[in-house]
Amino acid sequence: MDAVHQTVSLSDLDRFCRQVLTACGANDATADATTRALMHATRCGVDSHGVRLLAHYIKALEGGRLNKNPDIRKVAGFGAVETLDGDHAQGAVPAYAAMARAIDLAGKFGIGAVGVRNNSHFGAAGAYSVEAARHGMIGLSFCNSDSFVRLHDGASRFHGTNPISMAVPIAGEDPWFLDMATSAVPFNRVLLYRSTETRLPEGVASDEAGINTTDPHLTEMLAPLGGAFGFKGAGLAGIAEIFSAVLTGMRLSFDIPSMMGEDIKTPRLLGAFVMAIQPEAFVDRATFEAGMKRYVETLRTSPARADASVMAPGDREWKVARHRDAQGVELDPVTHEAFLELSRTYSVPMPA
């Protein structure tokens, strides 16, 4: 069967990821958190950060960059604020732990803010903000990453793709949900487009001289979000940088070794930051829920241009999630080949 059209169920993808991670020697917490983060992205249609990253994480775990048996621990904090040491775990492990602590703190203080030191790539930032929304709270998450995004009018890499995510509960519905790179597109989207031989949109990527290109194979850096107003995207990247790296004492983006570099032994020392907010600390729950309902309902029914529709943040992702829950997901060719190799190496049956 042509790998491009090979559809697999989400449940079997989840099984495959967990079994491969366990077979490589990762502890239960690592297998669970990594799989949850990968499956969140794949389920919601964020394929650039989904199961296609499994092979990379396995390589980093086997190479020593990532700790297979991390000890996530509190190293600082008072009141509603804490800092965790991620012990060079796969990034989802400390990120989920940080959000769990932030949710607990918000239950006591109305707000909880947790920074993470010694972190690594944690995938889609939305995986963690959504956790807060599932507990009836507003969630925010940030991470920095190695430089791949030029500044506005810049011609060299400066910021990482530095994602920002926020999720807000809506009574009886999926959350209002924003998960965005502060670059025009995430770098993993470029890798996905290389796999599928798809041209990039105009104005989102540059070659080694900083000149725009639509060829994913010639892409050497990304543009900041905002096109002609890219200074806004660069500023948002700075917000993620400050929360993630400056507040935690971790490396700035331009000091972090490349995620795709040849060195898979040396930890990269990323930072992360999450926050949970209890709405009742500000307003009663009924008023909060009524406000969110009115906001999203008015947004969705607002006038749209001809042959178009308006959506609230998250509407597309939740629609894709419902479809994939029922129909499964197609694996791109590179991911399919990587899964075949992982299946052979670790004697784990391929997703059916």
- pLDDT tens for each residue of 266-296: 999 999 999 999 999 999 999 999 999 999 9
| Strands 111-119 and 221-222, sheet pairing | unpaired
DSSP 8-state secondary structure symbol assigned to residue 76? E
| pTM as predicted | 0.94
The reply to whether 245 falls in a domain is yes
Q: The CATH number of the domain where 177 resides is what?
A: 3.30.1370.60
Using the predicted structure, report yes or no on whether residue 3 has a pLDDT greater than 50: no
C-alpha of 148 from chain center? 16
Q: What is the pLDDT of residues 77-100, one digit of tens each?
A: 999 999 999 999 999 999 999 999
d(CA 159, CA 142) in angstroms, rounded, equals 13
Domain annotation covers residue 278: yes
pLDDT band at 5 (very low <50, low <70, confident <90, very high): low
Residue 342 lies in a domain: no
Distance of CA 37 to the CA centre of its chain: 8
Number of other residues whose CB lies within 10 A of the CB of residue 177 = 23
For residue 29, tell me if it sits in a domain.
Answer: no
pLDDT tops 60 at residue 1? no
Domain-located, residue 238 = yes
- Is residue 14 a part of any domain in this protein? no
Q: Does the residue 48 lie in any domain?
A: no
pLDDT for residue 2 is more than 60: no
Strands (DSSP E) contained in 120-156 are 138-143, 149-150
User: Domains in the chain: how many in total?
Assistant: 1
Confidence at 210, pLDDT banded by 50, 70, 90: confident
Amino acid sitting at position 139? G
User: What's the rounded Cα separation, in Å, for the pair 139 and 274?
Assistant: 7
On whether residue 90 sits in a domain, the answer given is yes
CB contact at 8 A, 332 and 195: yes
Q: For 105-162, how does the pLDDT look when each residue is reduced to its tens digit (9 = 90+)?
A: 999 999 999 999 999 999 999 999 999 999 999 999 999 999 999 999 999 999 999 9
Give long-range contacts, CB 8 A cutoff, 24+ apart: 157-161.
157/221, 157/254, 158/234, 158/253, 158/254, 159/183, 159/224, 159/234, 159/237, 159/238, 159/241, 159/253, 159/254, 160/237, 160/241, 160/253, 160/256, 161/186, 161/187, 161/222, 161/237
Instruction: For residue 270, give its domain range.
Output: 69-302+305-326
Confidence of residue 4 (pLDDT cuts 50, 70, 90): very low
Give yes or no for a contact between 254 and 241, defined as CB atoms under 8 angstroms apart: no
Which residues 6+ apart lie within 8 Å of 64 measured at CB? 264, 265
